[in-house]
Homo-oligomer: A and B are copies of this chain.
């Protein structure tokens, strides 16, 4: 009997994240693109997919169950959350806090508990949930013509720098390297990175895998936005094919990831 009583109150979802920071950074990185979205929870982890308002960009986050310890999700549930509210609550976490997410079956709220490392402080928040029409998008598992791995800080720097000159950037990839170029009223700019690997400084590596040359143009505003995720990973992967959205991927531990897709600009040539 005690078991049953316990089962009644046992949340359907219970996920403990050693670093509340991780979720905080994810939300900081996406909340300018997406206002409200579902966190889809099942036994494999917590996933989020959403398009930005103008339907040019798409965010796809996957936090695998292995990124939590422990992780339990007895039923598939979708937590519809306003990201501004979530961000407000995550700001209440201290940097080293441990976060536990909990939700009941058919929940009205998601419960978030922050524990200080030494456990003498416990903060608990409930965020009200909302019903969100899920436009779940099957993202085809594309074979990309070009894949670039580079330091995320370098990509961020390039995007920021070029923003000073233009609203869009062309990314041109050959076997030898990748060229970010733009053209604007005050002049033009281009940053070229050569493919190189250095065993001494692996975090500075630029690796290029290419089956055919690619050249595409993208909105810098969005790319700069994606780069807010730089704090999540030292490196970023860019995947391109002609006439297909760019994939910008930040890999996290345990095969978790944060991905952004961005449709190319139709070039007026």
Contacts and interface: CB of A to CB of B under 8 A. Distances in A.
Nearest to A188: B126
A91 B109 CA distance: 46
Interface string A68-106: 000000000000001001001101101000000000000
Contacts of A165: 88-89, 125
Indicate how many identical chains form the complex. Answer: 2
A122 interface: yes
Contact of A89 (B94, B128, B154, B164): B164
Contacts of A185: 128
A122 B176 CA distance: 13
Contacts of A128: 185-187
A127 B189 CA distance: 9
A190 B123 contact: yes
Contacts of A191: 92, 121-124
Nearest to A110: B187
Interface residues of A, number: 35
A247 to B, nearest CB: 23
Contacts of A196: 120
A221 interface: no
Contact of A190 (B82, B124, B192): B124
Which 9 A-B residue pairings sit nearest by Cβ, starting from the closest?
A92-B161, A85-B186, A88-B164, A127-B187, A125-B189, A123-B191, A126-B187, A126-B188, A122-B192
30 contacts: A82-B186, A85-B186, A85-B187, A88-B165, A89-B164, A89-B165, A89-B186, A89-B187, A89-B189, A91-B161, A91-B164, A92-B161, A92-B162, A92-B189, A109-B187, A120-B193, A120-B194, A120-B206, A121-B194, A123-B161, A123-B189, A123-B191, A124-B189, A124-B191, A125-B165, A125-B190, A126-B187, A126-B188, A127-B186, A128-B186
